[in-house]
Structures are given as structure tokens and as C-alpha cells.
Amino acid sequence: MKNLSRLLFVTVLLMSFSTSNAQDKNNPWAIGIGANAVDFYPVGEDIPQGEYFDEYFNATDHWNILPSISRVSVSRYLSDGFTFSAIGTINRIDKFGSNVDLTTGNETTNNVDDLTYYGVDGAITYSFRDLINGNGGWFDPYLGVGGGYSWVDEIGAGTVNGTLGFKIWLSESVGIEAQSAYKHSFEDYLPKHFQHSVGVVFKFGGTDSDGDGIYDQDDACPEEAGLEAFNGCPDSDNDGIQDSKDDCPNTAGLAEFNGCPDSDGDGVMDKDDNCPNVAGLKSLMGCPDADGDGVADADDNCPNEAGPAANNGCPWPDTDGDGVLDKDDKCPNEAGTVANNGCPEVKPTKEVMKQLNEYARTILFDTGKASIQNESEEVLSAMTAIFKEYPQATFSINGHTDSVGAKSTNQLLSERRANAVRDYLIANGIDSARLTAKGFGEENPIDTNKTRNGRKNNRRVEVKLTN
């Protein structure tokens, strides 16, 4: 017994160095030490034994307990909750059932001489830990079946065993275990019996080659220390992107750039940024363009004034201010028209008159009135600009209506609307001598008045060249 106690003490000492925070598949081995109790009473036999589970917890009268470490187990995790265990036990038997005094009805314990009990058993158990707690958990109940060989002094026989127990895990590698096993003997000379046990269990056996706390079985980079978040793979620059997926593994960067940095925050990675310390545009390789002309400031002779790249970022001059740049203006010192290459027009072309009338037909008036709606301001401004391009030309503003309503009313309305347009042009800088206004009422339709769309087309303002 002294040698056994010493062996168990050494086992406890070694187990204190086992790794924690492990799972069964990573720590497949376990050693358990503890005490056991043998009970021959509640096994379904006649006196001095009793019915099944009768006084099952009566430890004082029926349990045989050796007050020392008396149970050692070695277990190997298999898979999917199944574990195989080899168990050795020793005990001293001094109680075997009870006798009842028929006269008094009192029950007395049937004591026997101190007998030595040995047991060697094997069991397959199934853990309900994950089913109850999810993945892992502190409460670990189990059921098991197995067999073994038990001796009481010199009497020995094989047994088939059924086991019920649970473990309470204090950490992932250390737990407390309580178990009750029923042992049914194959020989009549060895009584069937219950054996209860309680003890401490230590799990161990995982391999962690790189020492990062993640066992090789679950480590995607078993030879290189890494992080649990990346299944054991490293993140050298601590930017939250593992090295194998990091295009810049030694410089902290952003996930959107696969771990590469963007120091100026302009959306262009430093390694592709021609101006890495100044925020710029992707189209200019990360360099700024203050005037937005598409020429990077470093190459722009006029960085604060928009201009074409052909002129090094500076605007082309327009000396006469006619909208035609000097480089394209055949009369650079005399305001002209775009259509005439910068030279002044004597009178508008057919194309210009067509444009004027397209504008005029879109002028909107309030219903039945000559007041111009605000939406027509842009159109009238465009017409004014064209009139100013031809200062020698004179024009007639002609008003037309559809045939709805009295003819005299339509005639008056067309005149008023024509004059309203003329008044606007005069108010905006057109010489009154250049403009006349006429109303034609419903006399000159350009479409049928029988349809809504036709009548819409007939309600119009037209511009005619008069010189």
C-alpha cells in the first residue's frame, strides 16, 4: 500500500504540469485517482443481501471503504464523445449485507473478516457533455459498459459492468469525478455488487509544436507561433490580417487593401501612391489636384486655376471674351461667334434662327395669361445671349394661339404674349429698336386643333429675322 500511495503521489505531481484550456481531442489521455466503495447489499438477492437499489445510499451499514487512495484509472479519448478507460481498484471488505432479528425486527450489519478486494476493469463510456452544454462545459455526465475481473481474497471471477457517472470540470484539464458501477459476476461464487468511486481526473497529451497555446491538431500553422483567432497562424504586424493573406505582412495596414497601409487616407495604397503623405486622387496615383483640372499639382503650372493638360494645367486665353479661345479665334481681338470661328456675324445663320425658335416654343405662360412662368427664365436668358451676338440684326416676336375660345380673345392674348417676350429681352439689354411684336391669334396653325397635342403645338412664340 505504501508503494501504491507513493506512485499516486508522483502521478499527481506530474499532472500538475499538464496544459490547461484543452479539449478532449487535443488532450486525449486522462489519469484519475481517488477512493472507491464496494457494496454487496442492494443487488436483488435474499438476506443477507437486499433488493435492487434497496438502501442504495446507506454508506454506514453497507459500504466498504478503504480510507486511502484506492482507485487509479487511465483513459484514452476515442472520438465523438466515446472514451476507453482501464481501471484498477483495491479495497477491504468487512461488511456483507444485513440480518434481521425476527423477534425484535432490528437489522444488524453482517460483518465478515477483513477480506482483500481487487478489481481490474475496462469500460467504454459515452459523454453527454456537448449535448447538454454545447461545445464543452463544466458538467459532464456519462454512461458506460464494460467488463473486468474482481477478486475477494483468493476468489476471482469475470464481471460485466454498467456504469453511470459524471465529471465536474474545474478547468479544461482538471476535474472531479463521481461514478457508480454495477458488476455482474459470471460465477456464482463471486457475488454481484456495486462499486462507487470519487476522485480527481487530469487530462493531458496534446502537442503544441510552436508553443502558441493551440494544439497541432487545430493549428493551421503548427510550426509557426500564431493567434487563436487565426487558427494558430501569425499576424506579424498586428493589423488583424493573418500573414498568409496580408500583402504587407510586416507593415500594419487595412483589410480593404489586404493588409497594406494608406498613410494619407486617400484610398490609394502607399506602395501605389506617388504622393503617399498627401491625400490625392486615385486617377492621379494618389497625388492632389487642387483646381480639379485633371493635372496633378506637381505638374500644374497653374495649380489653383483649372486648365488643360495641353497647356500645362493653365487656361487658354480669350482676349476678346467671345467664348472662342485665342488659339481657335480667327479674330482674337474682336468679339465674334463660335459659329464664325470667333469673328462677328452680320446676321444669324439658319441654324441660329432654328435654335432661337426651339427656345421660343418652350416659353411657358400662365394659363390664359401673358405672364411668363419662372421655369422659362433659363430659355429666355439663352435667347438674350444670341440676340447680343448679332447687334445689327432686327427681329419680330410673333405670338400664336390655338382655336379654343373666342377669336378676338385669342388675337389679344397672342399680342400680349409676344409683347411680354419683347419686354423681357429689352429689360435684359436688347435695343428696343431691334425688336417688334405681333400677334396672329389662331390664324397660322402649324398642327391640327382637333387634338390636345396639336393645340399645344399651335400655342407658340416664333422669332423672325426682319433685315
Cell 502521478 belongs to 11
Q: Is the pLDDT of residue 2 over 50?
A: no
Backbone region of residue 292 per phi and psi (left: phi > 0; alpha: psi in -120 to 50; beta: other values) = left
What pLDDT, on a 0 to 100 scale, did the predictor assign at position 24? 60
Span 198-208, average pLDDT: 88
The total of structural domains in the chain comes to 2
Nearest to 72 by CA among 119, 138, 25, 124: 119
What pLDDT, on a 0 to 100 scale, did the predictor assign at position 15? 41
CATH code of the domain covering residue 405: 3.30.1330.60
> Of 155, 184, 204, which one is at a domain's C-terminal end?
204
**What is the C-alpha separation between 246 and 240, in angstroms, rounded?**
9
Q: Is the pLDDT of residue 140 over 90?
A: yes
Q: Is the pLDDT of residue 13 over 50?
A: no
Give a yes or no: residue 424 inside a domain. Answer: yes
CATH code of the domain covering residue 161: 2.40.160.20
DSSP strand pairing (435-439 vs 395-400): parallel
Q: Greater confidence, 347 or 379?
A: 379
Local structure of 148: helix, strand or coil = strand
- Residues 6 or more apart whose CB falls under 8 angstroms from that of 445 comprise 400, 402, 403, 454, 458
Give a yes or no: residue 324 inside a domain. Answer: no
**What is the C-alpha separation between 259 and 243, in angstroms, rounded?**
9
The confidence band for 102, taking pLDDT boundaries of 50, 70 and 90, is: low
Helices (H) and strands (E) in the chain, counts: 7, 12
Q: Greater confidence, 106 or 403?
A: 403
Query: Is the Cβ–Cβ distance between 22 and 203 less than 8 Å?
Result: yes
The confidence band for 10, taking pLDDT boundaries of 50, 70 and 90, is: very low
Cell 458501477 belongs to 181
Q: Greater confidence, 313 or 438?
A: 438
Span 47-55, average pLDDT: 88
Per-residue pLDDT tens for 249-289? Answer: 888 888 888 888 888 888 888 888 888 888 888 888 888 88
Beta strands in 420-459 (DSSP E): 435-439
What pLDDT, on a 0 to 100 scale, did the predictor assign at position 101? 64
Span 324-331, average pLDDT: 87
Strand partners, 77: 83
Range of 442's domain?
A: 350-465
Q: Is the pLDDT of residue 388 over 50?
A: yes
Average per-residue pLDDT in the chain?
87
Cell 503617399 belongs to 276
Query: Is the Cβ–Cβ distance between 205 and 14 less than 8 Å?
Result: no
Give a yes or no: residue 289 inside a domain. Answer: no
> Of 177, 204, 231, which one is at a domain's C-terminal end?
204
What pLDDT, on a 0 to 100 scale, did the predictor assign at position 253? 85
Give a yes or no: residue 128 inside a domain. Answer: yes
What pLDDT, on a 0 to 100 scale, did the predictor assign at position 5? 40
Sheet hosting strand 395-400, strand order edge to edge = 435-439, 395-400, 460-465
Strand partners, 465: 395
Give a yes or no: residue 152 inside a domain. Answer: yes
> Could you tell me the three cell numbers for 441?
391669334
Strand partners, 177: 167, 199
For residue 87, count other CB atoms closer than 10 A to its CB.
24
How many C-alpha atoms does 363 have within 13 Å on its Cβ side? 31
Helix, strand and coil content of the chain, in percent to the nearest 5, comes to 20, 30, 45
- Residues 6 or more apart whose CB falls under 8 angstroms from that of 466 comprise 394, 395, 396, 436
Per-residue pLDDT tens for 294-303? Answer: 888 888 888 8
Q: Is the pLDDT of residue 105 over 80?
A: no
Span 354-382, average pLDDT: 92
What pLDDT, on a 0 to 100 scale, did the predictor assign at position 461? 94
Give a yes or no: residue 356 inside a domain. Answer: yes
Q: Is the pLDDT of residue 9 over 50?
A: no
φ and ψ at residue 47, rounded to 5 degrees: -50, 135
Q: Is the peptide bond before 315 cis (omega within 30 degrees of 0)?
A: no
Span 427-443, average pLDDT: 95
Beta strands in 364-434 (DSSP E): 395-400
> Of 174, 204, 234, which one is at a domain's C-terminal end?
204
Length of the chain counted residue by residue: 467
Nearest to 361 by CA among 437, 462, 464: 462
**What is the C-alpha separation between 55 and 38, in angstroms, rounded?**
14
Give a yes or no: residue 236 inside a domain. Answer: no
For residue 207, count other CB atoms closer than 10 A to its CB.
12
Q: Is the pLDDT of residue 376 over 50?
A: yes
**What is the C-alpha separation between 3 and 271, in angstroms, rounded?**
70
Span 33-42, average pLDDT: 96
